[in-house]
Structure 1
């Protein structure tokens, strides 16, 4: 299971693996005071995309599309997150004030879509190797 949480909220026992998914370290937080399993700045939106979005809700739809394209182009950045989510709860941490329009939400949805897409094969061609054919 994947959940998103503001980095400024207290850690909880049921957070599972806690991963910061922002490119920049959150303001006002000392690195040694944040309960964290990993910081993956490379999985965050590019600096240019982040600046273009500027946390404007009216730009969120375009931001989502562009960020998903960035993610699709670099699976090496987010594949560890899928692995961690498969082995337990994964909490994506973010610093944005807006709890709805932020990169962690887009990333969580992207990861869930990838999880479903990579699930059980559905076409006969995909089953070919499983049943002794081809």
Structure 2
């Protein structure tokens, strides 16, 4: 199962492996409090991230462009497939929008890839 969770939420046993998937370190978050790893390379490019946050690209356009970036660099996200295949995986993000963020797009991408490999689970994103 792949979940998405804000990095500011407390870690839980059901999180399994926790991976921060943002390019920038979250504000007011100490690195020792992460309780997981940080894979900044899997995040959208700075250019795409800025365009989305500034409203130059809507979520559909962001999703399409981010998926193109993911397709061009499987070496960035492929290690996440192994983690997801072994047990629960929680993708951490800092965005306030719990429905439209890079972790959600990445979770769906990974689920699609897992389905190609065999039975998968549905991504779960939740907010506080």
TM-score bin, normalised by smaller chain: 0.7 to 0.9
- Give the number of the structure whose alpha-carbon radius of gyration is greater: 1
1:55 offset after TM fit, Å? 6.5
Which secondary structure does the structure 2 equivalent of 1:92 belong to? strand
Q: Does 1:78 align with 2:77?
A: yes
Q: Which has the higher contact order (CA 8 A, sep 6+)?
A: 2
Write the distance in 1 (CA, Å) between the matches of 2:54 and 2:13.
30
Q: TM-score, normalised by structure 2?
A: 0.88
Is 1:40 the counterpart of 2:39? The answer is yes
Partner of 1:4: 4
Q: Which runs of 5+ in 2 are unaligned?
A: 120-128
Matched, 1:28 2:28: yes
Q: Is 1:53–1:59's contact at 8 Å kept on the other side of the alignment?
A: yes
Cα offsets for 1:47-69 (capped at 9, x unmatched) = 0000111174x700000000000
Please give the root-mean-square deviation of Cα atoms over the aligned residues, in Å. Answer: 1.7
Partners of 1:97 and 1:45 in 2: how far apart? 17
Distance 1:55 1:119, change over 3 A: farther
Point out 4+ residue stretches in structure 1 off by more than 4 angstroms.
none
1:29 match: secondary structure? coil
Matching residue of 2:17: 17
User: Counterpart of 2:92?
Assistant: 93
